DNA sequence: CTGAAAGCGCTTACAG
DNA sequence: CTGAAAGCGCTTACAG
């Protein structure tokens, strides 16, 4: 219970173990040249004195940083409540992957245009940055693109805008969208509309649309897109898109949406208007967010492997820092079948 | 686009500005004693050379750390997908509060018993730790309790076990639970059951139960509790509890649950069994998680102020480090009225 | 208001 | 296999 005021240095350990300070440093950094018996004495003395290597001193002398900065781009108002939970799962995957590689993660949530900050690498706090989050905050993405242009090491999830040339890691959007559409087709849905954007800052959405269109055409069916109203939450965009589809009058019986939040919004509106999901309309989302487990019906979705995504981002950043400009990364996805696209119910008329 | 190999030091800036290195250090650290004209020359030179203070060197020399470690306790299998989104919102609040105080946050997700780690403070990476997450991972909580006993500075959200004596910050569970129960009463519900635990490691749950019971008794009604099956997800616990209530046969028309995920599970089961929420049963949760916005009906809940919670935790940790053992913290909550407790529908019989 | 100098606690050639 | 010594890049008394 006693808080220690005294903090041991490597000199204290050296004295206690009867060796020089440099030998302590070698022993505790795992240098195999140190004799086993010597190492044992040193480790024991360090334990007794509750000694731990001072990270600042070690970093300064060695130049090795062993830290990654993770920047989560939020909406400009920085409201984290409304934030897409997909990004939180990705954050967890990145932190776990970094930890598995013996690296630490400095995490910052950035949104407000006047508070964007990329000092991490310049001040030698981190070897580089992993950036991800909402593609809506254009100012933030432009800012970190500028950081990269300026010599910082930046890797991102997604890569939002065509103009942005950041090294990226993405989901297998093609395979995922194909699996989603095939799932709908297999369950008898034929008039399947894509809800999202085909030509938008969020490149991943465009990839999902392309694979959707290809898969439908391969089945001899025509693609159809319902685009989103800008400036709204994904959920609200989904609601409005579904409403617009009903208003348009053109019949449809399936929705493949650019992300889960859009799907949840669309489902809610369809139910309100008296349509049954999946009996009248089948719905498949993309992201694997937790809320989809609890919706009524539970949402069938495409879920990226968050652990693999985290590893891929960390590896890519390390490679970039090491000067290897490796290939872009793709993260595998899987179809999570829940209740929202289990098949049409034949209705009279 | 050119990556700079050269990294300027304060000596380079000194030379460029025609002053000594110590003056550069003073000017850039904001020491007001430096003449305005000198400071200007220095700032300009630093900008030109793209100079930034080396964080390791600064920390080593000054001893000031300016970093907080944030430990998010996960389930032992470290599956971040199943993780309560409430904790993510709290994480965001903490990072924002730290940033507003000019501090950085090292974030780690810890779950597996053999990978628990509290080296942050010992190795001078951080001034202390803010710990929160699932109360189910007892081994992890015991571990960080031991860290605190051992002299580390630890502040937590909630404080899970009675045996744990960590400094904490908690929601205003009393006020929140009272508001929840009063909302149910105001909308005509009379047989209101608490779903959760009254006597459990999660102290916050106990506080919510106590206020629930008090409020009911003040209205001349009898409290009733339906406890949870251990070892399941909160959602599944909610389902089972609702099923058990139906089986018990004793009539009820309202549920106040210990957290939102329990409420969502309970609502799903009630709907499956043909009961209408809120027409037959009113439901109010606690946490303000996003999934509650999208459930059918949307979940009425008690939401803590995440920004205030983050600030309170950061302040409390700083005070602890400064040797001021201030009072425990309470974070205000607000009732978020959505659709799940809008009133009974009078049904025949 | 500014400069010369010491020193924070390590890692790592270099020498033996 | 181990030790003596230099030095990473700052901050901060001390002197002027």
Residue B11: the pLDDT is 94
- Residue A77: Cβ within 10 Å count: 10
CA distance B139 to B116: 9
Q: Which residue's CA is nearest to the C1' of nucleotide D7? A: A61
Work out the burial of residue A305: count CB atoms within 10 Å of its CB; fewer than 13 is exposed, 13-18 middle, 19 or more buried: middle
B233 lies within 8 A of chain A by CB: no
Residue A346: the pLDDT is 63
Contacts of B237 in chain A (CB under 8 A): none
- CB A107 to CB B95 under 8 A? yes
Indicate if the alpha-carbon torsion angle B76, B77, B78, B84 is positive or negative.
negative
Task: Scan for tokens 């009961």, then name that residue.
Answer: B275
Residue B324: the pLDDT is 82
Does the CB of B343 sit below 7 A from strand D? no
Contacts of B56 in chain A (CB under 8 A): 55-57, 59-60, 124
The mean per-residue pLDDT over the stretch A190-195 comes to 96
A122 lies within 8 A of chain B by CB: yes
Helices (H), B170-256: 173-186, 203-218, 234-248
Sequence-separated (6 or more) residues with CB below 8 Å from residue A232: A240
The mean per-residue pLDDT over the stretch A272-290 comes to 92
Residue B347: the pLDDT is 56
| Per-residue pLDDT band at A163 (split at 50, 70, 90) | low
Residue A275 has pLDDT above 50, yes or no: yes
Sequence-separated (6 or more) residues with CB below 8 Å from residue B189: B253, B254, B281, B282, B341, B344
Residue B79: the pLDDT is 75
Contacts of B86 in chain A (CB under 8 A): none
Residue A2 has pLDDT above 60, yes or no: no
Question: Do residues A297 and A277 lie in contact, with contact meaning Cβ atoms separated by under 8 Å?
Answer: yes
* Higher local confidence (pLDDT), A213 or B78: A213
CA distance B66 to A27: 30
Q: How far is CA A249 from the centre of its chain?
A: 37
Residue A290: the pLDDT is 75
CA distance A82 to A240: 18
- CB A125 to CB B55 under 8 A? yes
Sequence-separated (6 or more) residues with CB below 8 Å from residue B20: B14
Question: Do residues A304 and A331 lie in contact, with contact meaning Cβ atoms separated by under 8 Å?
Answer: yes
Nucleotide nearest to A35 (CA to C1'): D1
Distances (CA, A) of B40 to B8, B31, B34, B192: 18, 13, 10, 68
| Per-residue pLDDT band at A177 (split at 50, 70, 90) | very high
CA distance B85 to B88: 5
Does the CB of B61 sit below 7 A from strand D? yes
Question: Do residues A109 and B92 lie in contact, with contact meaning Cβ atoms separated by under 8 Å?
Answer: yes
Contacts of B119 in chain A (CB under 8 A): 52
- Residue among A4, A104, A149 minimizing CB distance to B106: A104
CA distance A30 to A147: 36
B97 lies within 8 A of chain A by CB: no
- CB A82 to CB B290 under 8 A? yes
List the A145 CA – C10 C1' distance (angstroms).
Answer: 36
Distance from CA of B68 to the nearest CA of A (A): 10
Sequence-separated (6 or more) residues with CB below 8 Å from residue B112: B76, B77, B78
- Residue among A83, A151, A291 minimizing CB distance to B92: A83
Contacts of A149 in chain B (CB under 8 A): 1
Report the residue of chain A nearest B112, measured CA to CA: A96
Question: Do residues B160 and B192 lie in contact, with contact meaning Cβ atoms separated by under 8 Å?
Answer: no
CA distance A56 to A47: 20
Helices (H), chain B: 10-17, 21-28, 36-49, 55-62, 85-100, 119-122, 138-149, 173-186, 203-218, 234-248, 260-272, 291-294, 306-321
CA distance B156 to B317: 9
List the B20 CA – D16 C1' distance (angstroms).
Answer: 15
Helices (H), chain A: 10-17, 21-28, 36-48, 55-62, 85-100, 119-122, 138-149, 173-186, 203-218, 234-248, 260-272, 291-294, 306-321
Distance from CA of A104 to the nearest CA of B (A): 7
The strand pairing partners of A108, in sequence order, are A71
* Helix or strand holding residue B156 (H, E): strand B154-157
Distance from CA of A237 to the nearest CA of B (A): 13
Residue B204 has pLDDT above 90, yes or no: no
Structure tokens at B279: 């027409």
Nucleotide nearest to B51 (CA to C1'): D9
| Per-residue pLDDT band at B294 (split at 50, 70, 90) | confident
CA distance B84 to B202: 14
Distance from CA of B291 to the nearest CA of A (A): 5
- Residue B30: Cβ within 10 Å count: 8
CA distance A257 to A266: 9
Domains in chain B with CATH codes = 1-49 (1.10.260.40), 67-171+306-331 (3.40.50.2300), 173-304 (3.40.50.2300)
Distances (CA, A) of A340 to A247, A261, B239: 22, 14, 20
Residue B265 has pLDDT above 80, yes or no: yes
What does the radius of gyration of chain B's CA atoms come to, in whole angstroms?
Answer: 26
CA distance A277 to B309: 39
Give the pLDDT confidence of B139-180 residue by residue, as tens digits: 999 999 999 998 899 999 987 766 678 899 999 999 999 999
- CB A290 to CB B122 under 8 A? no
Question: Do residues B309 and B98 lie in contact, with contact meaning Cβ atoms separated by under 8 Å?
Answer: no
CA distance B343 to B183: 10
Residue A301 has pLDDT above 50, yes or no: yes
Q: How far is CA B297 from the centre of its chain?
A: 26
Residue B134: the pLDDT is 86
List the A60 CA – D9 C1' distance (angstroms).
Answer: 8
What positions of strand C are covered by protein, i.e. any atom < 7 Å from a CB? 1-5, 7-13
Structure tokens at B101: 């105080």
Give the pLDDT confidence of A195-205 residue by residue, as tens digits: 998 777 778 88
Structure tokens at B74: 């996960």
**Ramachandran region of residue B50, left (φ > 0), alpha (ψ -120 to 50) or beta?**
left
Residue B174: the pLDDT is 96
In this structure, are strands B67-73 and A333-336 parallel, antiparallel, or unpaired?
unpaired
Does the CB of A26 sit below 7 A from strand D? yes
Contacts of A122 in chain B (CB under 8 A): 50, 52
B124 lies within 8 A of chain A by CB: yes
Interface of B with A in 6-65 (CB under 8 A): 50, 52-57, 59-60
- Residue among B80, B271, B296 minimizing CB distance to A306: B80
Residue B345: the pLDDT is 79
Distance from CA of B294 to the nearest CA of A (A): 7
The mean per-residue pLDDT over the stretch B66-92 comes to 85
B293 lies within 8 A of chain A by CB: yes
Mean pLDDT of chain A: 90
List the A22 CA – C11 C1' distance (angstroms).
Answer: 8
- CB A95 to CB B78 under 8 A? no
**DSSP annotation of A136:** T
* Higher local confidence (pLDDT), A335 or B297: A335
Sequence-separated (6 or more) residues with CB below 8 Å from residue A49: A8, A12, A13, A16
Q: Which residues of B202-237 are buried (b: 16+ CB within 10 A; e: fewer)?
A: bbbbbbbbbbbbebbeeeebebbebbbeeeebbbbb
Does the CB of A33 sit below 7 A from strand D? yes
List the B41 CA – D7 C1' distance (angstroms).
Answer: 29
Residue A47: the pLDDT is 94
- CB B50 to CB A268 under 8 A? no
Distance from CA of A32 to the nearest CA of B (A): 22
The mean per-residue pLDDT over the stretch A201-213 comes to 89
The mean per-residue pLDDT over the stretch A283-300 comes to 88
Sequence-separated (6 or more) residues with CB below 8 Å from residue B260: B86, B285, B286, B287, B288, B289, B291, B292, B299, B301
Q: How far is CA B127 from the centre of its chain?
A: 19
**Ramachandran region of residue B63, left (φ > 0), alpha (ψ -120 to 50) or beta?**
left
Among A106, A348, A95, A23, CA closest to B106? A106
What does the radius of gyration of chain A's CA atoms come to, in whole angstroms?
Answer: 26
B246 lies within 8 A of chain A by CB: no
Work out the burial of residue B17: count CB atoms within 10 Å of its CB; fewer than 13 is exposed, 13-18 middle, 19 or more buried: buried
Residue A347: the pLDDT is 56
CA distance A206 to A132: 17
- Residue among A92, A106, A271 minimizing CB distance to B296: A271
Among A118, A116, A213, CA closest to A174? A213
Question: Do residues A302 and A284 lie in contact, with contact meaning Cβ atoms separated by under 8 Å?
Answer: yes
Distance from CA of B40 to the nearest CA of A (A): 21
Residue B252 has pLDDT above 80, yes or no: yes
Does the CB of B23 sit below 7 A from strand D? no
List the A60 CA – C4 C1' distance (angstroms).
Answer: 23
């Amino acid at each position: 219970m006693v808080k220690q005021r005294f903090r041991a240095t490597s000199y204290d350990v050296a004295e206690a173990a009867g060796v020089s300070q440099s030998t302590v440093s070698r022993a505790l950094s795992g240098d195999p040249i140190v004799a086993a018996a010597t190492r044992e004495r040193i480790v024991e003395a360090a334990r007794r004195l509750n000694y731990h290597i001072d990270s600042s001193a070690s970093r300064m002398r060695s130049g090795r940083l062993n830290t990654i900065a993770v920047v989560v781009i939020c909406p400009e108002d920085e409201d984290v409540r409304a934030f897409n939970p997909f990004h939180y799962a990705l954050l967890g995957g990145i932190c776990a992957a970094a930890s598995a590689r013996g690296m630490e993660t400095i995490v910052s949530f950035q949104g407000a245009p006047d508070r964007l900050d990329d000092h991490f690498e310049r001040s030698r706090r981190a070897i580089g940055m992993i950036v991800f989050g909402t593609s809506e905050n254009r100012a933030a993405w432009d800012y970190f693109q500028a950081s990269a242009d300026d010599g910082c090491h930046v890797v991102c999830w997604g890569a939002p805008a065509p103009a942005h040339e950041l090294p990226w890691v993405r989901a297998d959007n093609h395979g995922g969208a194909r699996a989603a559409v095939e799932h709908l087709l297999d369950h008898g849905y034929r008039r399947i509309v894509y809800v999202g954007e085909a030509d938008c800052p969020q490149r991943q959405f465009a990839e999902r649309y392309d694979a959707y269109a290809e898969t439908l055409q391969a089945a001899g069916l025509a693609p159809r897109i319902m685009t989103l109203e800008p400036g709204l939450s994904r959920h609200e965009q989904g609601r409005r898109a579904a409403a617009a589809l009903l208003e348009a009058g053109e019949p449809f019986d399936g929705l493949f949406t650019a992300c889960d939040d859009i799907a949840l919004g669309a489902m809610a509106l369809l139910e309100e208007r008296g349509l049954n999901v999946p009996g009248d309309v089948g719905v498949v989302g993309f992201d694997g967010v937790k809320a989809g487990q609890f919706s009524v019906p539970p949402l069938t979705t495409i879920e990226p492997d968050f652990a693999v995504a985290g590893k891929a981002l960390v590896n890519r950043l390390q490679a970039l820092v090491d000067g290897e400009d490796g290939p872009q990364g793709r993260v595998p996805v899987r179809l999570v079948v829940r209740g929202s696209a289990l098949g049409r119910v034949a209705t009279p008329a």
